[in-house]
């Protein structure tokens, strides 16, 4: 038999000696007093991994949770990385912003204190800010890096932090590995505040930065061509007031927020999950559309980096567009009516629909496809300065209009959608009409994306192993459709192409305990009957999903 592992009580005692937070110390002491050693062991079974998506997890005591000690260790590791790899970090400084979740302001203050203790000046948001504003500030101020404390659309018990370098983009390999190693070193040696270093200044994020972000956002799209009524939801996050101000400044006068979701509330009381993609999350927005006779509805998620769009169906009922629908509509409008010139670029991820590629070809624009996440979607324009990024999007309702923010930006996308809807209204059309037009020209592109949730302790390993097995031994058929090609754009991403123009992509989520599946079918519309073509595509997708699901559950 091997030697027994470390006693969790010893690890807990060491943690208690270092934890600066009386709340999490009391939580851990209560677990010890209750004799719940299984839970204590689970809290110390490892530590939250810092990767390209930063940190995200449930708040609580121990290294497997988000808490002040984990945040301070992470900030110390980030400071060590910057001092070792960014020669002018002590002159350029770091931006630190945060959302309105429980403990976000405390975590942001901890980050600022630790960075400053390493001699790195900090610009700290003195109140909650949308993630896009924090990301915009990095390049606007010329900082060496930026940190945003947020768990975006996760449940209320979660929090996290995202790391960006001076280029304004989230970190990618090998930087993520180097930062993770520096964090592990800080956690290992316990040196959070280095001795003998004169602390740098911590200054507030100025209003001029927010004003500059607002000006850049408004400059990307034209003023509304016709008046429209707009319903909005902030989903209990930080986007309510900024979105209202942006829409008003853009010229939209009839905007009707969902009052119950307008003010920040970290408990997200009106929704099960504060994610506009979740079933039921936009029900209050749909109701507000009916009450106010609004033409469109816009729901930003809690940190305002994503936006869901609702339109009116032919019968007048509110209907939520998919992320791919909105990406295609924005791509067509921006390329056809808003921008001009050579080397215009549109980008989407490998799990997004295929319609944007056809739109780009029709307009002579450059199309690029990347791995999932804006850490990758921002790279084509960064790597080729001759390209002018018009739009980058991923199907999970994330959009970057222009290139001022190298991450998804729900506020600027919402303003663009509002102006796009007003332009359609001026021509007697709706966004639903515009989507019909696109499908008549390029084929009815219909998607069916779904997730399988698994919160068990070994769920992440099981999901990764399942995708690995499917990559090694893919199916020959899915229902009535024969598999025509299989590839793996990344080690944990499987893409299956089927006859008839369908495709499936499977990958584990990078931020949630889910296996995510993305299915698309494309049907020609030779007779102009878009509804019939979409119905045929949905039948094909139902067969594909029915055949795929047992493979994913195995």
Helix 22-33 to helix 8-18 angle (10° resolution) is 160
Yes or no: say if 122 and 149 are a contact pair by the CB < 8 Å rule: no
* Residue 198 is assigned to a structural domain of this protein: no
- CA–CA distance, 276 with 410 (Å, rounded to integer): 12
Parallel, antiparallel or unpaired: strands 477-478 and 481-490:
antiparallel
Provide the CATH number for the domain around residue 280: 3.40.120.10
* Residue 287 is assigned to a structural domain of this protein: yes
Can you say how many angstroms the Cα of residue 149 is from the centroid of all Cα atoms in its chain?
13
Tokens for 122, please give them: 């900090």
- CA–CA distance, 239 with 410 (Å, rounded to integer): 9
Are 461 and 336 in a shared domain?
no
End-of-domain residue from the set 159, 192, 225: 192
List residues with catalytic annotation: 152
As a whole number, the mean pLDDT across the chain is 95
Domain count of the fold of the chain: 3
Provide the CATH number for the domain around residue 543: 3.30.310.50
* Residue 3 is assigned to a structural domain of this protein: no
pLDDT digits (tens, 9 = 90+) for 284-324: 999 999 999 999 999 999 999 999 999 999 889 999 999 99
Query: So what's the pLDDT on residue 454?
Result: 80
Are 511 and 395 in a shared domain?
no
* Residue 201 is assigned to a structural domain of this protein: no
* Percentage of the chain modeled with pLDDT above 90: 88
Question: pLDDT tier at 7 (50, 70, 90 boundaries)?
Answer: confident
pLDDT digits (tens, 9 = 90+) for 466-493: 888 888 889 999 988 899 999 999 888 9
pLDDT digits (tens, 9 = 90+) for 69-128: 999 999 999 999 999 999 999 999 999 999 999 999 999 999 999 999 999 999 999 999
Are 385 and 249 in a shared domain?
yes
* Residue 197 is assigned to a structural domain of this protein: no
Query: So what's the pLDDT on residue 462?
Result: 83
What is the domain extent for residue 419?
212-442
Are 396 and 416 in a shared domain?
yes
pLDDT digits (tens, 9 = 90+) for 372-388: 999 999 999 999 999 99
Yes or no: say if 519 and 502 are a contact pair by the CB < 8 Å rule: yes
pLDDT digits (tens, 9 = 90+) for 450-468: 888 887 777 888 888 888 8
Q: What is the 3-state secondary structure (H, E, C) of 103-164?
A: CHHHHHHHHHHHHHHCCCCEEECCCCCCHHHHHHHHHHHCCCEEEEECCCCCCCCEEEEEEE
Are 175 and 247 in a shared domain?
no
User: Is pLDDT of 4 > 60?
Assistant: no
User: Is pLDDT of 177 > 70?
Assistant: yes
Tokens for 109, please give them: 């203050």
Are 149 and 55 in a shared domain?
yes
User: Is pLDDT of 554 > 70?
Assistant: no
Query: So what's the pLDDT on residue 5?
Result: 61
- CA–CA distance, 118 with 181 (Å, rounded to integer): 18
Are 217 and 165 in a shared domain?
no
* Percentage of the chain modeled with pLDDT above 70: 99
- CA–CA distance, 518 with 397 (Å, rounded to integer): 14
* Residue 388 is assigned to a structural domain of this protein: yes
Are 245 and 137 in a shared domain?
no
Query: So what's the pLDDT on residue 45?
Result: 92
Are 72 and 12 in a shared domain?
yes
Are 142 and 291 in a shared domain?
no
End-of-domain residue from the set 192, 224, 245: 192
End-of-domain residue from the set 401, 421, 442: 442
Yes or no: say if 65 and 58 are a contact pair by the CB < 8 Å rule: yes
Are 256 and 362 in a shared domain?
yes
* Residue 205 is assigned to a structural domain of this protein: no
* Residue 207 is assigned to a structural domain of this protein: no
Question: pLDDT tier at 26 (50, 70, 90 boundaries)?
Answer: very high
Can you say how many angstroms the Cα of residue 483 is from the centroid of all Cα atoms in its chain?
31
Are 245 and 388 in a shared domain?
yes
Question: pLDDT tier at 3 (50, 70, 90 boundaries)?
Answer: very low
Query: So what's the pLDDT on residue 2?
Result: 44
- CA–CA distance, 455 with 467 (Å, rounded to integer): 17
């Amino acid at each position: 038999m091997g030697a027994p592992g470390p006693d969790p009580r010893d690890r807990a005692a060491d943690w208690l000696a270092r934890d600066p937070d009386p709340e999490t110390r009391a939580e851990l002491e209560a677990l010890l007093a209750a004799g719940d050693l299984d839970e204590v062991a689970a809290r110390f079974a490892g530590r939250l991994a810092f990767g390209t998506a930063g940190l995200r997890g449930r708040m609580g005591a121990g290294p497997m949770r988000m808490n002040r000690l984990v945040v301070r260790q992470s900030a110390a590791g980030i400071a060590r990385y910057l001092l070792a790899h960014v020669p002018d970090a002590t002159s350029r400084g770091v931006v630190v912003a945060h959302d309105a979740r429980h403990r976000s302001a405390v975590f942001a203050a901890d980050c600022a204190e630790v960075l400053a203790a390493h001699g790195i000046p900090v610009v700290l948001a003195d109140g909650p800010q949308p993630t896009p504003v924090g990301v915009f500030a990095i390049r606007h101020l010329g900082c060496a890096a930026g940190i945003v404390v947020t768990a975006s659309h996760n449940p209320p018990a979660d929090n996290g932090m995202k790391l960006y370098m001076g280029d304004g983009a989230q970190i990618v390999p090998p930087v993520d590995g180097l930062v993770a190693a520096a964090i592990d070193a800080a956690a290992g040696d316990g040196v959070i505040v280095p001795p003998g270093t004169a602390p740098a200044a911590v200054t507030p994020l100025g209003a001029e930065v927010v004003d500059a972000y607002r000006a850049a956002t408004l400059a990307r799209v034209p003023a509304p061509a016709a008046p429209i009524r707009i319903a909005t939801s902030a989903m209990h996050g930080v986007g309510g007031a900024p979105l209202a101000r942006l829409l008003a400044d853009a010229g939209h006068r009839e905007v009707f927020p969902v009052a119950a979701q307008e003010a920040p509330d970290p408990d997200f009381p009106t929704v099960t999950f504060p994610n506009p993609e979740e079933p039921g999350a936009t029900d209050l927005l749909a109701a507000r559309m009916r009450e106010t006779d609004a033409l469109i509805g816009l729901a930003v998620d809690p940190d305002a980096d994503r936006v869901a769009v609702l339109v009116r169906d032919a019968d007048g009922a509110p209907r939520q567009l998919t992320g791919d629908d909105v990406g295609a509509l924005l791509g067509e409008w921006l390329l056809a009516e808003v921008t001009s010139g050579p080397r215009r670029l549109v980008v989407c991820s490998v799990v997004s629909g295929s319609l944007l590629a056809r739109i780009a070809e029709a307009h002579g624009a450059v199309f690029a496809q990347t791995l999932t996440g804006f850490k990758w979607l921002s790279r084509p324009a960064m790597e080729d300065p001759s390209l002018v990024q018009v739009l980058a999007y991923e199907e999970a309702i994330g959009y970057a209009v222009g290139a001022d923010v190298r991450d998804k930006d729900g506020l600027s996308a919402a303003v663009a959608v509002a102006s796009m809807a007003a332009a359609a209204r001026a021509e007697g059309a709706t966004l639903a009409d515009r989507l019909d037009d696109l499908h008549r020209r390029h084929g009815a592109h219909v998607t069916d994306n779904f997730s399988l949730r698994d919160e068990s302790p070994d769920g992440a390993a099981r999901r990764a192993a399942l995708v690995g097995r499917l990559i090694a031994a893919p199916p020959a058929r899915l229902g009535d459709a024969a598999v025509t090609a299989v590839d793996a754009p990344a080690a944990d991403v499987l893409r299956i192409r089927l006859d008839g123009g369908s495709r499936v992509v499977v990958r584990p989520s990078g931020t949630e305990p889910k296996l995510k599946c993305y299915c698309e079918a494309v049907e020609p519309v030779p007779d102009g009957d878009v509804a019939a073509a979409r119905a045929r595509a949905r039948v094909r997708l139902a067969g594909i999903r029915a055949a795929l699901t047992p493979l994913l559950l195995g």
